[in-house]
């Protein structure tokens, strides 16, 4: 007689990020969720992705973002992390033209 076993494992993770900025940089909170925002260059380095990928995500409106007076694009860390953790892809059908 053969015994069959089934093993299922669920792993939940929580992340905490500490971002240190110079005092001259003003911290901006997301208008939609109130979470902190970073410049697109900083967010790309933080998540280890290219800045172009950040702009692709922004184009699909998958993450919260805003443009500041200096012309820099600020992106919400929480919405970006949720998008990246969800494993979503930007297929041509999902892109807005």
Written as six digits, the tokens of 42 are 């900083």
pLDDT in tens, 34-69: 888 888 888 888 888 999 999 999 999 889 999 888
Name residue, tokens 């410049």.
39
Share of the chain above pLDDT 90, in %: 14
Which CA distances in Å does 78 have to 48, 52, 91?
Answer: 15, 19, 22
Contact present, 29 and 35 (Cβ < 8 Å):
yes
Mean of all residue pLDDT scores within the chain: 78
Written as six digits, the tokens of 24 are 């001259």
pLDDT at 91 over 50: no
What is the C-alpha end-to-end distance of the chain, expressed in Å?
60
pLDDT at 33 over 80: yes
Contact present, 57 and 63 (Cβ < 8 Å):
yes
Contact present, 76 and 17 (Cβ < 8 Å):
no
Show me where the domains of the chain are located. Answer: 37-85
pLDDT at 94 over 50: no
- 36 secondary structure, DSSP code: B
pLDDT for 92:
41
């Amino acid at each position: 007689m053969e015994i069959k076993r089934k093993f299922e494992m669920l792993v939940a993770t929580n992340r905490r990020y500490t971002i240190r900025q110079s005092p001259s940089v003003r911290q901006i909170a997301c208008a939609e969720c109130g979470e902190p925002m970073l410049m697109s260059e900083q967010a790309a380095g933080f998540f280890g992705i290219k800045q172009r990928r950040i702009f692709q995500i922004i184009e699909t409106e998958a993450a919260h973002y805003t443009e500041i007076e200096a012309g820099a694009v600020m992106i919400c860390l929480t919405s970006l992390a949720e998008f990246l953790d969800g494993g979503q892809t930007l297929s041509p059908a999902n892109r807005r033209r």
